[in-house]
Amino acid sequence: MEDDSLREWVAKAHAKGLPDDEIVRDVTQKGWKEPEIRKALKAHKGGLSVVDSPSEPMTGNLFLRAWQIVKSRWKLLAGIALIQALIITGVQLLITATSASFSSFLLYTTLLVLMVFFCTLSLTHTVSRVTEGSVSAVAHATIKTYGFYIWTAVLGVLATLGGLVAFVMPGIILSIMLIPLPFVVVEEKVHGMAALKRCFALTRDFRWDTFLKILVLGLAFLAVFIVLFLIIFAMWFAVSASRGAALSLGGFLAGEIGFLVIQAILYLLLPAFSQAYYAVIYRDLSAIHPRENDPEPIIRQGKKIMLGFMIAGMVFAIPLSISVGFLASTGVYDEFLNYGKITQESVRIEREYYNYLVSNTEELITDEADRNDIVRSINIIGLQVSLQDYYLKNSVYPATLDELIPTFLPEMLVDPATGESYGYALSENGKGWELCTIFDTDGLQCVTWP
């Protein structure tokens, strides 16, 4: 695959017979700074050995250099990222659709974490210099190295956990030092403890530089999300205001389109660009510190530090796992997991109600029976949301609807035609309920939870 190194850019430009000033101008557009380019030109003309990157790490415009990688492989990155987005979204839907038990939640969450590791590795192969540029080649290489990467990543997680447990700051430093880990596994074909030692040797003298570059990337993405949020909110507000209502179909669509845009950035652009950005960092570091030149004392020091924190991580993780398993057997987590489902149900109810209003407003305004039915629908939805709020606070549902007043409802909601309360029945275990009303158009209708 195409190399984005300074040496390659200078050599290609010089081979075209371009004058030095034009070479500097062209290569500057690739993200490098003029002093480094002229230094590489001088070395190239003299037949000297030129490293792949500058003598100081992470110089030049890292964003532009990362963009060069993304631009040269955008079709492959788009295909891989889209497949990953579908896989992760599918696993997330599986988690939310399953029954609220800790065992199923733990199973699907573990599956989601494994999929995230798989996606990280596949993106690393996509932007690497050693994997052929096709979806099939990337998939084959990812499957081939996945086991090695998982094993190495687990060791890295244990070491980081040990650092966090010990003094917090060592764990943060270790997480920064392990940024090149997937590239070490892919490009240098090193795994296990050897990969951790190699990461230590690569970043030992450049921890602060690496942290600052990662911080800049995070702030840049945060700024992008803030700008997008403001634009989408402005669209929603403008469309809603033009319709003369706080809620309008145009505003709803603007929000939905904005949500899709943010999802595309979250699942497609952000991971691809981030991995290309990490690739630039790795290439700079590996150019300064080729593996064959790693000093033995630093390697031994890295091994001692990594082993020490890994042991601390295991000492913490083993009893924690036993405790979590014991608590899970008592069912203490099931109620907590049910809160998420209650919130999701409330959001679903509100969205269904909005869609109902948008599609039926014209007819509902002209007919009294329809107006009564829409009031009944509003009241039933309001009661459902209030019941869920009550449960989140008290861990049980109320015995009667009167208990919702006034904390969860300002006043009792009644049938618009008869003035009577809606039918409510609590389940025997206090964990469910049934709400009923009689619609003019559809007759008796009941809603049950769960």
Write out pLDDT tens, residues 358-369: 455 445 455 677
The whole-angstrom separation of Cα 342 and Cα 345 is 5
The whole-angstrom separation of Cα 386 and Cα 390 is 6
Predicted confidence (pLDDT) at residue 95 exceeds the cutoff of 70: no
The whole-angstrom separation of Cα 443 and Cα 154 is 59
Q: How far is CA 130 from the centre of its chain?
A: 27
The whole-angstrom separation of Cα 176 and Cα 180 is 9
134, 76 contact by CB (below 8 A)? yes
Place of tokens 């700079």: 284
What are the E-state strand segments in 368-450?
A: 423-426, 433-439, 443-449
**Using N-to-C axis directions, what is the helix angle for 135-167 and 74-97, rounded to 10°?**
60
Give the pLDDT band (50/70/90) at residue 105: low
Q: Residue type for 424, please?
A: Y
Higher pLDDT: 280 or 267? It is 280
The whole-angstrom separation of Cα 339 and Cα 333 is 10
Among the listed ranges 71-80, 288-297, 338-347, 376-385, which one has the minimum average pLDDT value? 338-347
pLDDT at 119: 82
Share the mean pLDDT of the chain: 74
Predicted confidence (pLDDT) at residue 264 exceeds the cutoff of 70: no
pLDDT digits (tens, 9 = 90+) for 165-182: 777 787 888 888 888 899
- Pairing mode of beta strands 433-439, 423-426: antiparallel
24, 14 contact by CB (below 8 A)? no
The whole-angstrom separation of Cα 162 and Cα 157 is 8
Q: Is 31 helix (H, G, I), strand (E, B) or coil?
A: coil
386, 435 contact by CB (below 8 A)? no
The whole-angstrom separation of Cα 77 and Cα 95 is 27
284, 54 contact by CB (below 8 A)? yes
Mean pLDDT of the region 402-430: 80
The whole-angstrom separation of Cα 17 and Cα 45 is 12
pLDDT at 331: 58
Give the pLDDT band (50/70/90) at residue 48: very low
pLDDT at 72: 79
Provide CB contacts within 8 A for 418, sequence distance 6+.
none
pLDDT at 117: 86
Place of tokens 């892919």: 186
Share of residues in the chain with pLDDT > 70 (%): 66
Among the listed ranges 190-204, 336-350, 393-407, which one has the minimum average pLDDT value? 336-350
pTM, two decimal places? 0.60
Q: Is 326 helix (H, G, I), strand (E, B) or coil?
A: helix
Predicted confidence (pLDDT) at residue 199 exceeds the cutoff of 80: yes
Predicted confidence (pLDDT) at residue 94 exceeds the cutoff of 70: no
Higher pLDDT: 186 or 238? It is 186
pLDDT at 52: 39
265, 58 contact by CB (below 8 A)? no
